[in-house]
Structure 1
Amino acid sequence: MFQERPSRVPGAVLWQTTHESEAAPQVPEIPQPRRTERLRQAEPSLQAERILLSGQAERTGQAPGAQLRVLPDGCMDLIWVDGQVLVAGPDTRAHLFPARAGASYIGLRFAPGTAPAILGVPAHELRDRRVPLADLWPSASARRLAERAAVADDPGEVLQEAAMRRLRSLDGPAGPDRVTAGVVDGLRSGLPVSGIADAAGVSERQLRRRCLGAFGYGPRTLGRILRMNRAVELARTGTPFAVVAVDAGYADQAHLSREVKALAGVPLGALIR
């Protein structure tokens, strides 16, 4: 079962999901520098447990050993699971994880580009990673947050309040800077990267550097991910794949097929069954 609600954190969403049994039907969609070297990878049983708004969690096998496939969407999440607070970084490809019976996940999903200021780490340092929050924040702060979440009636509210406190403590803006603020809208509207860079008054190299810190990857990778999610949304409505390819901005249906397979690991048809 999946539920989500708006968050007081600008652009963010609070979500909760529980996997009732190994044989349950498809889970609904929900959506390196030195510092990186010291970030621990989360334990395998906790690796993520990342639920995405524009991605899809898809069962890829039958119990026992069933897995869920989570698509990349450019977002980052703060997640309460198994007594720990984890951070899920921005994905560049589909992430597979076990569909554990009875597992419950509660998370705060940040809009693209907004998490780095709150978490205190550039997005590219967390790319394709799930790490304990204690690797990013002072261990005492992360421990107190986990302790509050453990006894709270609503752990999501605890995550949200922690993020709000971080926002209030910032000297500058919490979201992307003026250069990266228009990247998502520009990419979704079909603008080329060169056009986005020109509009921002920076070079393509400078734009890429800004995007790495804000989104975890360059504008071209972000554009591919956003376009793939748009294609999946259209395909779910029953739109023929040839029309999906045109409407989502692909050269043709073959291009659509290659891109979805590269990012999701499976054909488009497998994502909408």
Structure 2
Amino acid sequence: MEPVYAERPAPAGLACLWTRTVSSPTVQRVVPDGCTDLMWTPSTGALNVAGPDTQAQLASVAPGTLYGVRLPPGAFPSVFGVPAHAVRDLRVPLTDLVPSARLESFTSMVEFCASRVTVDPVLTATAALLRTGDVTTAAWEIGLSERQLRRRCLDAFGYPPKVLQRVLRFDSALRLAWTGVPFATVAAEAGYADQAHLAREVRALAGVSLGQLIRP
């Protein structure tokens, strides 16, 4: 059986709830999207936090179902109490971040995240501006200096603004490509200089071409 990945809506403030089921050991390519995840493996009881990625991660997945709660960009510190850059490109046990956490079910995971998450409208605006514009304009629109924006982005998103911009633009491009939009149009709509620029950025962040990435 091919790996089965499914998402469903989450409580307010969370991005989504998801499951991934595999019948045999497999390696999954996880690409940067600006989000972070709390993951539970029922067979072992392991609860791990996936920090913000700067490049593709190849994750070994054991047979069974992996459960996840995905947090939107910028939500990490409110749930886990540490700056997002502290776990950039890492996978760490939940108790390393929140020693008092004792979660024993998917429902308790969801409740844990939903009860702690805070949606900061400034961070939401920052992500939206950087997804479609440049760092200088984003800082001006929010009313911060570029140095202040960098500090806030590192704490909230785990990236400096220019890296956050690259990751969010890549995520937008990937979402468009999944719908069947021609790659030249993807490049234009996602804010790349041209299709060649898109191709370079996708390979840098994902490790493979866009065509390989969206292949069924």
TM-score, normalised to structure 2, is 0.90
* Aligned residue in 2 for 1:63: none
C-alpha distance in structure 1 between counterparts of 2:7 and 2:183, whole Å: 29
Contact map agreement 1:79 1:105 (CA 8 A) in 2 = yes
SS of residue paired to 2:11? coil
2:106 is matched by which residue type in structure 1?
Answer: G
> Shift in Å at residue 9 of structure 1?
4.4
Q: 1:184 to 1:166 in 2, by over 3 A?
A: closer
C-alpha distance in structure 2 between counterparts of 1:210 and 1:235, whole Å: 31
Count of residues in correspondence between the two structures: 210
Contact map agreement 1:227 1:248 (CA 8 A) in 2 = yes
C-alpha distance in structure 2 between counterparts of 1:181 and 1:226, whole Å: 12
Q: 1:6 to 1:239 in 2, by over 3 A?
A: closer
1:20 is matched by which residue type in structure 2?
Answer: S
Contact map agreement 1:71 1:93 (CA 8 A) in 2 = yes
Q: 1:80 to 1:199 in 2, by over 3 A?
A: same
Pairing partner for 2:116 from 152, 166, 182: 166
CA displacement 1:230-250 (0-9 Å, x = unmatched): 222222333322222112111
C-alpha distance in structure 2 between counterparts of 1:177 and 1:207, whole Å: 14
CA displacement 1:44-76 (0-9 Å, x = unmatched): xxxxxxxxxxxxxxxxxxxxxx52211110011
> Shift in Å at residue 103 of structure 1?
3.0
C-alpha distance in structure 1 between counterparts of 2:115 and 2:166, whole Å: 33
1:247 is matched by which residue type in structure 2?
Answer: E
C-alpha distance in structure 2 between counterparts of 1:239 and 1:160, whole Å: 34
* Aligned residue in 2 for 1:19: 22
Gap regions ≥5 residues in structure 1: 23-65, 150-154, 168-173
Pairing partner for 1:176 from 114, 120, 123: 120
Give the stretch that moved more between structures: 2-11 or 13-22.
Answer: 2-11
SS of residue paired to 1:2? strand
Choose between structure 1 and 2: higher strand proportion: 2
TM-score, normalised to structure 1, is 0.72
Larger Rg belongs to: 1
Pairing partner for 2:82 from 106, 121, 135: 121
CA displacement 1:13-66 (0-9 Å, x = unmatched): 2111211235xxxxxxxxxxxxxxxxxxxxxxxxxxxxxxxxxxxxxxxxxxx5
SS of residue paired to 1:182? helix
2:107 is matched by which residue type in structure 1?
Answer: E
